[in-house]
Structure formats: C-alpha cells, structure tokens
Structure 1
C-alpha cells in the first residue's frame, strides 16, 4: 500500500514491543511509543534481554501526543489500542500526529475492533490462558455492549488472574487485577468521517483480517484494519 521501502517504523501504543523486535531482526530502524513509563521500562529490558535492544528506541507518549522521533516510512497502532481515544476529535488529533511523522508515500496502519463487536451478536467477550511452567495467567476481556451509548462509546474491562498449579492440585491465586476503561468504537462511516478531516492522509484500504486479501466487507472479516497513506 505504501510508495516507499520500509527503513524506519514507529509503533504507537507499543506495549512490550514484540512487533518491533520482528522488524529489528530484518534490519529496520524501530521506534516505540507508549503512554506508560513503566511499560517503556519493561519493553527496554525485554528487548535487551532478547538481543534486540540496539535496534529499538523507546519514547513515552500517549496516542494523542507527539513522540520525539524522526519521520518514518511505516507506523501502526496494534491490538485495538486506538479505542483509548474516546472521541472523534481525539482520533483526528492522532491521525494528524501520525501524518506529521510519516514521510511522503508512507503508511499508517490501525488495527481496530470490528464495529459488529459493539452489537450483541459480535465477539464482545474474549478469554485466554497462558501457561508458564507451574503458573497460569488467565485473562478475560469484555466489551459491555449493554452500556454502549448511541455515539458508540462503551465501557470495557480486563480481568487477569495469575495462579500456581503444583502436581495437578487446585490452582492457588498469586495475584490479580481488574482494569476498566472507556472506548470509542466507530463504525466504518465514522472512521471515514474522521479520516476525511485529515487531508494529509488518504484511506487506501479497509481490511477484515491480517491477510490483505480479506476486505472488511468479507463475511469472514473479524477485525477492521485501516490503511492510511501519507499524500
């Protein structure tokens, strides 16, 4: 979708930055931005521990703040993090910042929640478990669709429980936390309206999967991945 080779990449809301490490292994210059100083510190330690620290530079910045990075060829927002911006105006500000950091012909990619997940028939509950030796991490994420507003603003929650399991016995809880937030989940028309207010970017593709051959309109679509090109 872009018009230039990818030599520098920026991940907004980078979290632990595993996506960036994959780019660094290909020799691409990488920058990661996250609003949590604690997460940035963790990502730096993790990248160094895995030998990728030299290829990634980190900056503390929220999605609506400009990180101190040089212009890039590719930027992206992974894992529905974009919905932390709870108004169309906040989304527009993010797109303007992203455009200002893209070189001409560069691409900004947003991995968003499928708009159907804001309906009772959508995928609005997700659970997963990760095993680490004798410990397990159980996570439950929920979009509280019953409390959504007509403007598509909705509460979400994440519960995480870490447990120890020894010799097949009953699990013993080690720690847990619950996090709540407010998300704004636009439909495609809403995304188009916001993008049209940022003339430096052109919405060139809307995908329904990480496979670029699956458009958003396809019956198998389960994400909304927006591809915006710097003009």
Structure 2
C-alpha cells in the first residue's frame, strides 16, 4: 500500500490520471492515501462500487481479512462500539501504521463516501454505516428510481469534494449473470452496462482523478476468463470518457 500510495501521488502531481488494476481490495487504502497525499488540503470523495462495505477494523472483523478494512483505515475509524476481537499489540500497531500510510491521519470523512451496490454485509458494518450516515445506493433502488437520478443525487452529496476517487470491485456485478471469477461473488448485482454508466456519469463532473479495478480472479472463473474480459470491456468504455473529459479540462 505504501508503494502504491507513492505511485498514485507522483502520477497525480505530474498531472496524470492513474488507473489502478489490482487483485485484493486492500490496495484501495494505498490508492486513497496517494490521492490524499497529492491533494493534502482538498476534500477527497470516494465512490465505492462493491458488493461489500469493506468498513471493518481488526476490532470488529470476524475474518480478520485486510481486504475488508480499507475504508475503516481511510476513515481512521476503529468501530470500537462493535468490538468482538481481542486485538494483540502487534496487530494494533500495524493497524495504526495502516491508518497513517503516506500521509498521517484521516484521509476521508464519512460524508464524502458513497456506496453503490453493497448487499453483503455483517452486523458491525451495518451499524457503522447507519451511525456514520453513509448512503448505499442498492441495485434494486437504482433500478426502481433510475440510475441517472441516483447518480445525480450522489454527485450532489459529494458536491463539497474537490476531487473524487472511484473504486470498482467486480463483485459488485451479478455473479450469476456475469461470472464467478472473483474471491467473494454475490448474486443480484449490476450488469456491466450499469457500471459503465455509473462511472461515466461521475467522470463527467471532471472531479474524478483516479479509478481502481479490483478482485478479478481467473482461477475461480468457470466461464473461461469471462470476469476479466468483462472488466476490460468496462475499462475500455470508461477510458474513452476519461480521455474526453480530461481533454476538456
């Protein structure tokens, strides 16, 4: 994460647009930290397109998996109200280091985080999301109210942000429709065309400075390499818009 944060920071400082392609979603902490390090005085908005909330801490996580903790680290929030683990001193020290990667302290605030498609959570995460007032645009809500309407509402929620980072986890897509080629597949998600529309609508604000794609796992894909192919289809579609809107800046 430290190396990734530095690469993201340097690319942004050199007026480039970093597109991060990663495996484990824990990388997002490095990416967010790099964005904040590049813009230390600016508010960073986060659009989190994912089946999972990834807002656990070592104190609340039933699995202890780091890929479920990047947002808690970016928020510098331990969720001690739902502490279930007796965390060792070494783990606590490493957690503090994670929260201070690249630039010390909180990287984002809860008001500047918006979820899209989160539908597989645990009780400590649900409580934290409610406590912090984080909006989750669920798949059914988006299809009922209209995608454009929901994204416009989210853009308004992030209107106080100077820059925006978009994180796309492929498990936000419907595993039955697209592919099971990801570590934690979840049904009843988006299709690739909805994901493209969501990202492109945010890109049109000209505030998006970095996009990340995560959690493709070809070893779990029984449709050949369908998940990776779909992810690259999305990447190709959004890259065209990124180039278009950045040329217009």
> What TM-score do you get using the length of structure 2 for normalisation?
0.41
Which is richer in strand? 1
> What TM-score do you get using the length of structure 1 for normalisation?
0.43
Relative contact order, higher structure (CA 8 A, sep 6+): 2
